[in-house]
């Protein structure tokens, strides 16, 4: 494997966003790119990352390899990079280590680190292609604020999507609260758009603890996409350049 990423910062932000959910995981490398799928310990949430080969320049992966990496170790090494550094990931066949090289774009500084790999026996789940009943795009900062605000009142949030808009509501010991968003187009700042694409009304309840955790990825993308269907996991997607993505799936609360 040899994969050069224009911004080391991208991988750093991905790792910062997921490391409180998953600790040790396999980075599956093949000629289409670098993928990661991992559940949290309680099997409530699933992280799915895809960094497509097009996100790298150049990208070369001659044989499929799984790089088993402890994310705390990876985070430590990624913190050694400067924010504008270019990152090259390298691994040999049947590797013991993954090699990370940071290059400064405007100086001759080159730093190099090896991280020891681990054997991780990871369960891989099949995620079915789903036509969701509601697809909502909204500013990622807005979603983060809603989740944090409602978590002050309750541990769970009901998300209801109708023709009128999307309503986030909660009920707790001190009282209740709700935030409703309607479709909204801002020509000057498309990052502020709220788009709601609905085929049938949806109402589901989710744990806010996990949603707040997912929102650590807000720095990766100005917009977040929420995809919902009744009685299936919520998809929270942060799109990255070149069709790469960081996705989180969250199992709904049941038995309301």
Partner 1 sequence: GSGQGNIKSFFGPP
Q: What is the dihedral of CA 204, 209, 214, 217, to 10 degrees?
A: 140
Stretch that binds partner 1, among 28-36, 171-179, 186-194, 246-254 (CB under 8 A): 246-254
Query: Among residues 154, 156, 221, 244, which is the contact residue for partner 1, using CB under 8 A?
Result: 156
Q: Can you read off the two tokens belonging to residue 117?
A: 């790999």
Answer whether 65's CB lies under 8 Å from 74's CB. no
Q: Can you read off the two tokens belonging to residue 107?
A: 């100086």
Radius of gyration, CA atoms only, the chain: 19
Under DSSP, is residue 210 helix (H, G, I), strand (E, B) or coil?
helix
Q: Does 232 bind partner 1 (CB under 8 A)?
A: yes
Nearest residue (CB) to partner 1, 40 versus 103 = 40
Answer whether 93's CB lies under 8 Å from 35's CB. no
Kindly state the smallest distance separating residue 166's Cβ from partner 1, in Å.
Answer: 20
Kindly state the smallest distance separating residue 45's Cβ from partner 1, in Å.
Answer: 6
Query: Among residues 133, 179, 212, 251, which is the contact residue for partner 1, using CB under 8 A?
Result: 251
Q: How far apart are CA 213 and CA 229, in angstroms?
A: 21
Contacts to partner 1 from residues 50-109, by CB under 8 A:
none
Contacts to partner 1 from residues 185-214, by CB under 8 A:
205, 207
Nearest residue (CB) to partner 1, 85 versus 160 = 160
Under DSSP, is residue 74 helix (H, G, I), strand (E, B) or coil?
helix
Q: Does 128 bind partner 1 (CB under 8 A)?
A: yes
Q: Does 121 bind partner 1 (CB under 8 A)?
A: no
What is the enclosing helix (H) or strand (E) of 137? Answer: strand 134-139
Q: Does 129 bind partner 1 (CB under 8 A)?
A: no
Stretch that binds partner 1, among 42-50, 85-93, 194-202, 212-220 (CB under 8 A): 42-50
Nearest residue (CB) to partner 1, 58 versus 255 = 255
- Per DSSP, 251 falls in state P
Q: Does 256 bind partner 1 (CB under 8 A)?
A: yes
Nearest residue (CB) to partner 1, 139 versus 252 = 252
Query: Among residues 105, 125, 152, 241, which is the contact residue for partner 1, using CB under 8 A?
Result: 125
- Per DSSP, 83 falls in state T
Cβ-Cβ contacts under 8 Å for 67 (sequence gap 6 or more): 1, 26, 27, 29, 91, 95, 98, 117
Q: How far is CA 184 from CA 137, 139, 175, in A?
A: 10, 11, 29
Q: Does 141 bind partner 1 (CB under 8 A)?
A: no
**Given the rule CB under 8 A, which residues bind partner 1?**
39, 42-46, 124-128, 156, 205, 207, 232-233, 249-256
């Amino acid at each position: 494997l040899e994969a050069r990423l224009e911004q080391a910062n991208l991988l750093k932000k991905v790792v910062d966003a997921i490391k409180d959910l998953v600790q040790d995981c396999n980075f599956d490398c093949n000629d289409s790119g670098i993928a990661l799928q991992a559940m949290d310990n309680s099997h409530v949430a699933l992280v799915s990352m895809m960094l497509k080969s097009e996100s790298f320049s150049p990208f070369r992966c001659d044989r499929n390899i799984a790089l088993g990496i402890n994310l705390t170790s990876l985070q430590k090494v990624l913190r050694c990079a400067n924010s504008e550094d270019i990152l090259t990931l390298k691994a040999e066949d049947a590797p013991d280590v993954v090699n990370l090289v940071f290059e400064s774009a405007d100086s001759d500084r080159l730093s190099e680190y090896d991280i020891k790999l681990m054997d991780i026996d990871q369960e891989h789940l099949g995620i079915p292609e789903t036509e969701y009943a509601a697809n909502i795009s909204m500013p990622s900062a807005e979603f983060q604020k809603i989740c944090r605000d409602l978590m002050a009142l309750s541990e769970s949030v009901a998300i209801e999507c109708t023709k009128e808009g999307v309503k986030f509501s909660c009920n707790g010991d001190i009282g209740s609260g709700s935030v409703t968003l309607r479709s909204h187009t801002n020509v000057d700042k498309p990052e502020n758009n709220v788009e709601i694409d609905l085929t049938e009304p949806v109402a589901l309840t989710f744990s806010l603890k996990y949603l707040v955790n997912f929102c650590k990825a807000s720095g990766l993308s100005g917009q977040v996409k929420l995809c919902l269907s009744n009685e299936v996991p919520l998809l929270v997607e942060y799109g990255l350049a070149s069709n790469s993505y960081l996705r989180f799936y969250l199992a709904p609360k049941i038995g309301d």
